[in-house]
A and B are shown apart, each in its own frame.
Chain A
Amino acid sequence: MTKLLITEITRMGPAFCVIGLQRENEKIQSIRPLPSFANGWSHFPHRRGDILECALTPFSGVKPHVEDRVSTRGFTRVTTVPEAETVVYLRKSELAQSLPDLFGCAIHENKKGSGLFAIPRDAKRSICGCETQNLRLELCANELRATLALSSGEVLRDLPVVDRDWRDFIDAALAEGRGANRTARLERFLNSDFHYKIMSCPHHFIRLGLTRPFHDLCWLMLDTLFPLPKHEWLQEF
């Protein structure tokens, strides 16, 4: 049996993608448990910070999704660690200071429009944490996008935000029952209070991931943003 600290739950279309941290001796590495029949879970009832017991095949996935492991049994929750402690472990796993370090390969710019991608055969992993100098979330034509500056000063624009909790928070903020001008209020929040709440948080941390190859390219996305959104923030705007 393997113990996984769940660090990522992302929305990928109708399914959820899950990543956890596994400790092997002194090394902490990311593992992506998968059902045997798909690349995602249609239902995943656990939360970030849960430590789950599971059985995984030992074979790693194809590049760059080398973290993939097929789960052969269900998950059993052992305990839950607080958000700040989860980030402590994340900082000890895959970590990059600059753009080429993220996935061990060159990152390319979309020549036609926006977005950044890696060549699947070049990338050595599909998930990595990084320290950020700054971060901005915006709604772009109903799509949640992130722009961030790495500690190296390199800027990544228009990354799709797939973090389940943040996507749920945005959906809740735009829910019909929240009155008029919801989008404008949310944008105002993202441009002001959000920035303070996130950037000043001692356990602010993000992880970036690569999509599955699509037309032979893996696109960068923002998988996880700590701190996680608080439901009570909805009362502030």
Chain B
Amino acid sequence: MTPLPTSRPDGKDPLRRLVEECFHREAGLSAPLPADDVDLIESGILDSMGWVSFLRTIESASGVGELGSDLNDRAASFAAILAALQTGGSRASGATRDVSPRPISKNGVPAIIPGSSAAVGSRIVPSEEVDRAFGMPPGKLRGRAGIESLAYAAEGENELTLGARAAQEALRAASCGAQQLDWIIATSETHHDYPSLSAQLHSRLLLREDCGALDVGGACLGLLHAFAVAESLIRSGQAQTAAVVTADVHSRTLTPARVAGEFGGLFGDGASAFLLRRADSADQGYQLGDFLFGCAGQYAAAIQVNDTREGGLDVKFDGEALSRAAITRLEKVLAAVELRSGIPRDSVGSFATHQPNPRLVALLAKQCAVSPKKFPPIARTYGNLGSSTCGAALHAALQDDSNRRQPIFLASLGPGLLFGGGWLTPSDWTHTSALRSV
């Protein structure tokens, strides 16, 4: 078992630091920290809504669920929270568990990404042409969404060819033979055929017969779902090497004949692929940290897509509500990733997030108070690539020499509203590196 850190380079108890950071998020940065035994409600520091909100933030940041339940019959104090975090963590793991923010919090050997790639449809179409095709005034996609062009699959290109191309390049980048793969995990929001995409990729890449092939869903969140599965397989020792592939060809699903208006015009076609390998001391590459996931069902009605009996698509798309939800939720996910990883956002090299459109990415950067240059510009040139947006952004971040030694944050969303986040750190990265870089 890997010994877990109990203190941080700044010398502060990590649990206390997490509670204090969450308290300041709820009560404001200027609020003085109360003594441990002060009842936050009785003293009027927080009202009952603020108290529950504070606890939910801690639950999200620590990964300890049911904290509120553990605090029934206890005072609303720091002391009670710290005690409940200790006992809650112990109950969850059956042993003493450190819930402190850290890069690696699970048992087993972590996974690294030694190779990655991305591919987009080879037909680059100016957004004005797409405006016209979808019955919108020319300039709308550029003006309102910030999309300059879209990548569409050419004849002969589809999810399989784009995904296979990306996968082969990722294998080549990692100097890894296809026969070394123990699993291929695919995700796509547009490929609904059988054999499934992972099975088709398995055949196309000529993988070993005993290499597993698995498809996971989640639409634009699919990449993070696939990473979480692949990382678990590697960490548990069931796999040494796994490939994660995303591929989405929207241009044949969201056609002007099936979807009218702005919604259909936002999407392009692309794929991404990542090789994940069990880390050993000699490996160089980015190491996967923890993941956090959830579903914010209050936004479920903002986007819904159903097949109709006539073969069309019934799209319910409340663009304004979805934009608001996307920004709010991505910001919350990034804040939770920051708390859980212990990595300050200032020291993050890139944010590989979902990019509904470039305008929202700029807004997200502003809300998070980070430079928009830290978000690789995918949607501006290629459009929203579905599950491949986050993948293409991550590949771009991994290729960027300027942030080679800095962590990368991941965050994405899917209809539901599903959300997820995670982080990657260079294999030789430590928290001290973060303190140095801030």
Contact = CB atoms under 8 A, between A and B. Distances in A.
Interface of A: 98-100, 106-116, 138-143, 145, 149, 152-158, 160, 183, 187, 219
Nearest to A147: B297
Given A98-B301, A154-B299, A160-B49, A111 B331 contact: yes
Contact of A141 (B25, B71, B299): B71
Given A109-B329, A112-B57, A154-B299, A219 B68 contact: no
A141 B56 contact: no
Interface string B312-345: 0000000011001100110110000000000000
Given A108-B324, A113-B25, A113-B26, A141 B52 contact: yes
Contacts of B299: 154
A165 to B, nearest CB: 19
Given A143-B51, A187-B69, A158 B56 contact: yes
B26 A112 contact: yes
Contacts of A100: 321
B257 interface: no
B72 interface: yes
B4 interface: no
- B50, B76, B297, B299 pick with most chain A CB within 10 angstroms: B297
Nearest to A114: B56
Contacts of B331: 111
A183 B48 contact: no
Contact of A142 (B73, B329, B332): B73
Contacts of B332: 109, 111
- B67, B73, B325, B328 pick with most chain A CB within 10 angstroms: B73
A142 B69 contact: no
B55 interface: yes
B53 A114 contact: yes
Given A114-B56, A116-B298, A154-B298, A109 B325 contact: yes
B386 to A, nearest CB: 22
A153 B297 contact: yes
The 7 tightest CB contacts between A and B, nearest first, are A155-B297, A113-B53, A140-B68, A141-B71, A114-B56, A113-B57, A141-B68
A153 B298 CA distance: 8
Contacts of B328: 108-109, 111
